[in-house]
Amino acid sequence: MSECGSRWMIRFLVVVVFCLVLCMEEASSKKAKIPRCPATCSCTKDSAFCVDTKAIPKSFPPGIISLTMVNAAFTTIPEGAFSHLTLLQFLFIENNDIQALSKYTFRGLKSLTHLSLSNNNLQTLPRDLFKNLDILTDLDLRGNSFLCDCKIKWLVDWIEKTNTTVPAVYCASPFEFQGRRVHDLTPRDFNCISADFAVYETFPFHSVSVESYDFSGDQFVTFAQPDSGYCTVYVWDHVEMIFRKFHNITSRSAVYCKPVVINNTLHMVVAQLFGGSHIYKWEDAPQRFIKIQDIDTTRVRKPNFVETFLLDGEWYFVVADSSKAGSTSIYRWNSNGFYSHQSLHPWHRDTHVEFIDAGGKPHLILSSASQPPIIYQWNPSQKQFTFHSQITEMADIQMVKHFWVRRALYLCLTRFIGDSKIMRWEGQRFVEIQTLPSRGSMVVYPFTVGPRLYLILGSDFSFSKVYLWDDLTQRFQPFQELNMRAPRAFSLISVDNKDILLAASFKGNTLAYQHLLVDLSAK
């Protein structure tokens, strides 16, 4: 065969092979299945209409840009349910019983311009549900029973800022927003910042008192530990963000360790059940507490609580004595030490003493296991506290603590058996305004964190209860329960943008709780 013929033959074979390949590819493509319209849907070239479907169909014919679903037999739609329909421009999920959507239900629908969720049973919508629907022009949410609480605050903000057209939607609840248009609400209408007390640090010892104080630019806390025989001082570590042990004062049976700073000198009143009570002074070189004074044991026999206060430019402390033979006594600072100033009533087994400066008139309120609380008022001419009145019909009061709401003075009286009482000063007397269940309570502590007023009632028999003051009702409302064993004292310290509630426990570990702010609208 000539050279010319050979070339012709090669070309011919190449053409044949090419044709065979094309034929095989064509045959293969004819065998490939084109997605059919789901059994519960009717489809045209570019749309699908589905009725009574049990789930979002997994496949549709190619080119679908409009999908309508009515009378669906499911109540929730999971994330990415329509991600296989990347060309979808119109989605109508109407007249169903849809109750919940995933945050990512509409993931992948970059071409979606019209979305209807009308006439379902939606009460809320996941935060940022429409975040990635960049070209959405129309959204219909009518016919749902929206709960206009913090979980829908984001929607209010989104409607206010979006260019998407959203027909009027109405709130079904809560009562204060019932019947109002969501469009008329603003983010400021929602109070969505709540709080939580969470365990921050655990101290492996029992304690019956805790006090916090500032000294030389540092923040300290001190615990009375009758079991271990110490009055222990901890200091806040600004690097590790914890309390670390700083110093111990050896004590046979400390029930209260009360710090007081006078003329830049730190003193510690250590009240003991046995061996007398003492006053210590802090020395910087070397760093130690030294005992400078004993407290007269004939006056103070069974101390239960120590309160310090500044009056007419002079420092005092008072020791509540709970023995049958002792006497609650007041001591006054004089140059180098505290000296006996006044004995209040003996024989009454006092459990607590509270100093109150009300209307420019200093008072002491003594709680007692044997009689109703007694109020003493300061007599400036005699420089003594004199009997003023009793809070009648109140027995077995373990502790009285005061707090202020604006200019109104309140007391909380806690009882071990029976209910605790909240009372308000009405000019001449205290009037009961609220009862709080408190069986087994020996300690109460009102405190504020920012604008929030809390009250915690310790309990020996169940969870300790935290209450939050409600300005609308002028009452405390239940807020949180804390699991601690036999609490005996609380103290709040604010440091490094943290608010720490310390809880002394008589039968368990002493605990530190952090007050955490929680944005309910972010959930």
Instruction: Please name each of the domains of the chain with its CATH number.
Output: 41-189 (3.80.10.10), 194-519 (2.120.10.80)
Q: What is the pLDDT of residue 6?
A: 52
What tens digit of pLDDT does each residue of 263-321 get?
999 999 999 988 889 999 999 888 999 999 998 777 788 899 999 999 999 999 999 99
> CA 473, CA 458: separation in Å to the nearest integer?
24
Return the DSSP state at 23.
H
Q: What is the pLDDT of residue 368?
A: 87
Name the amino acid, one letter, at 8. Answer: W
What tens digit of pLDDT does each residue of 18-69 get?
444 444 555 444 445 678 899 999 999 999 999 999 999 998 998 999 999 9
* pTM of the predicted model as reported, rounded to 2 decimal places: 0.77
Contact 147, 168 (CB under 8 A): no
Contact 489, 443 (CB under 8 A): yes
- Name residues whose C-beta falls within 8 Å of residue 159's C-beta, 6 or more positions apart in sequence: 166, 182, 183
What tens digit of pLDDT does each residue of 219-275 get?
999 999 988 889 999 999 999 999 999 999 998 889 999 999 999 999 999 999 888
The b/e string for 162-173 (b: 16+ C-beta within 10 A; e otherwise) is: eebebeebbbee
Which residue, 494, 468, 482, is CA-closest to 191? 468
> CA 338, CA 306: separation in Å to the nearest integer?
14
Which pair of tokens denotes residue 124? 């809320």
What tens digit of pLDDT does each residue of 122-168 get?
999 999 999 889 999 999 999 999 999 999 999 999 999 999 999 99
> CA 521, CA 459: separation in Å to the nearest integer?
33
91-115: average pLDDT: 96
Q: Is 138 helix (H, G, I), strand (E, B) or coil?
A: strand
Q: What is the pLDDT of residue 369?
A: 80
pLDDT higher than threshold 80 for residue 2: no
